[in-house]
Copies of this chain bind each other. A is one copy, B any other.
Amino acid sequence: MAVPRDSAPAVGRPPTILDVASRAGVSKSTVSNVVRGMPGVSETTRHRVRMAIDQLGYRPNVLARQLVQQRTNILGVVVGDLANPFFAEMAKSVERHAAARGYTAMFCNTEGNSQSELAGVETLLEYRVAGIVFLAFSGDSRTMKERLEHRVPVVFCSCTADWGDVVSVDDVRGGKLGTNHLIEVGHRRIAYVSIPELEDQSDLARWQGYCEALRISGLGPPMRVSWSPPSDHAVVDGEDRTLSEILTGQDRTTAVFASNDVAAISVQEFADRVGLRVPEDLSIVGFDDVPMAGLARIALTTLAQPRDKLAKLGIATIADRIERKLKGPPTTTLVEVDLVARKSTAPPSNPS
C-alpha cells in the first residue's frame, strides 16, 4: 500500500481532491464525479473513492467550486438590527428556508445606518453572492439601486422598494387597521411615534395608513413624533418637544401608534416610568407582533406579520429569480397583516 504523503491530516491544509484521487488511485475527475453524484462511475470505483474521502475527511472546497462554476450559493441577507426580535426571528427563518433551497446565508447587520448598509452590500458583492435579501431597507435608495440593479437579484422582504421583487405585508393597510382600532375604541387624539432605528419605507407606509385612517374618520391633523428613547426628548414637525408633555399636557394624545413593537414597548416602558397607566391613561398599538408582545405582562395590541411566511416566500422568490424560473419585471407579493388585540388598548378614560 502506497501511503500518500499527506495522509496525516492532524495539521496543515485540508485535503484536496487530488489527495483523494491519489489515495483512491483514480483521477480527480472521477473523484469529482463521485462527489457530485454523477452517473457513469462503476460501483467499485465509487466505493474506493468514498473510502478515501472519509479516511481523509475530505470536503470539497466550495470557493474553488463556485469560482469555476461562476456562481455561488451564497445569499446575502441585509438585516436592519439583529437586536430587534422581529429581525432576529426573520433572520432565523430566512436562514432555514435558504438552507432548504441549497443556499447559505451571509448576514450583514447594518445598525440601521445607511453607511454600513452600503459597505455591507459591497462586501456581499465581493463574495459574488447569488442574490441579496433585504430585511430592512433604510439606506439611500438611489446609490443602492445604481449599485445593484441588473447586477444581482434582489428581494425586499418585509420592506419595500420599486426596483426589486418585494414580499411584504401591506403596511398602509396595517397602518389603517391599527389606527382604526384606536378610533373605534374611542380615541380622538392619536399620535404616530417612531424611533430613530426605523424610519424607512415601511415606516412611511404605516404612517400613510395612519394618516388616511385619521382623515377618513375626520379626525384632527396627524401627528408624527420622532422619539429618542429612553430620553424624554422628541421632535414633532421639526419642533422640539418632550414625550411627557405630549402624553400628559393640554390636549394630550390618549393613544399612540408606534412604528413597530420595539418602539411600542419603549413607549410602554416610558409610560410605566412616568406613572401613566396603560391602557387607562394611554393606549398603545405596535407593529410586528414579536414574541415578547404576547407576554401577559406586556400584552401589546399589535399588527401581526406572518414572519415565517414572509421569509419562505421571500426565499422562494429570490431563488426562482436566481434560477431563472422567474423572469420579467419585479413582482410584488403581499401577505396578510392582522390586528391582534391585547391589553394595551382600551377606551380613553376622559374622552376629549
Contacts and interface: CB of A to CB of B under 8 A. Distances in A.
Interface of A: 4-11, 13-14, 57, 59-64, 66-67, 70, 72, 81-83, 85, 88-89, 91-92, 95-96, 104-109, 111, 122-123, 125-128, 147, 149-154, 163-165, 265, 268-269, 272-273, 291-292, 295-298, 321-322, 324, 327-330
Given A9-B151, A150-B10, A330-B5, A83 B88 contact: yes
A63 B59 contact: no
Nearest to A327: B8
Contact of A8 (B61, B126, B324): B324
A141 to B, nearest CB: 15
Contacts of A60: 126
Contacts of A147: 57
A63 B71 CA distance: 10
Contacts of A64: 67
A174 to B, nearest CB: 22
Contacts of A8: 150, 153, 321, 324, 327-328
Number of copies: 2
Given A8-B328, A61-B126, A82-B95, 16 more contacts: A4-B329, A6-B327, A6-B329, A9-B152, A57-B151, A61-B128, A62-B126, A63-B63, A63-B72, A63-B128, A83-B88, A265-B295, A269-B296, A269-B297, A272-B297, A297-B297
